[in-house]
Amino acid sequence: MDSLQFIGQVHSSLKNINDCPLQEFEGAPEASIHINKEYLSAISGLKTGSKIIILTWLHKGNRTTLTTKPRNNPNAKKTGVFATRSPDRPNPIGLHEAEITAITDDGRISVSNLEVLDGTPVIDIKIAL
């Protein structure tokens, strides 16, 4: 077992869980990531237009859930969470592909297509391959 470092957090107009689309392609608001000061040097090289992968910590996820009905459909068969994209899972890590639409020197990164709640911790950013 190991502990995570939160490298920043999401600022978004999505203030509660019922505002969230179920999948990214269903439309998400513009959102931004605010990088914590101590990690600022780790974003050098990112720029407007960069395609990135963002890993978030979906802190509202239920970590004891092992099976679920996909997309909350009561008629669906129970499925293991590892065969889904449910935020309820042992390690509730969100995976998001996005493009940087603006970035400032003090670590505010605006991105397209990030559909998580305001205040969600960010745990990693990687350049997309």
Is residue 20 a contact residue for a copy of itself (CB under 8 A)? no
Alpha carbons 63 and 9: distance in angstroms, whole number: 20
Alpha carbons 52 and 32: distance in angstroms, whole number: 13
Per-residue CA distances from 101 to 4, 34, 80, 118, 120 (Å):
27, 14, 36, 18, 19
According to CB under 8 A, which one of 85, 102, 104, 119 is a site residue for a copy of itself? 85
Among candidates 34, 53, 42, 51, which has minimal Cα distance to 104? 34
Pick the closer one to a copy of itself by CB: 30 or 124.
Answer: 124
The region of 13-21, 59-67, 112-120 touching a copy of itself under the rule CB under 8 A is 59-67
The region of 10-18, 78-86, 112-120 touching a copy of itself under the rule CB under 8 A is 78-86
Among candidates 107, 121, 118, 111, which has minimal Cα distance to 34? 107
According to CB under 8 A, which one of 19, 79, 102, 104 is a site residue for a copy of itself? 79
Task: Give min distance, CB of 47 to a copy of itself, in A.
Answer: 9
Cβ–Cβ under 8 Å, residues 40 and 33: no
What residues pair up with 74 in beta bridges, in sequence order?
A: none
Is residue 117 a contact residue for a copy of itself (CB under 8 A)? no
Is residue 21 a contact residue for a copy of itself (CB under 8 A)? no
Which residues in this chain contact a copy of itself in the complex, by CB under 8 A?
1-7, 23, 39, 41-46, 50, 52-53, 55, 57, 59, 63, 66-67, 78-85, 89-91, 93, 95, 123-127, 129
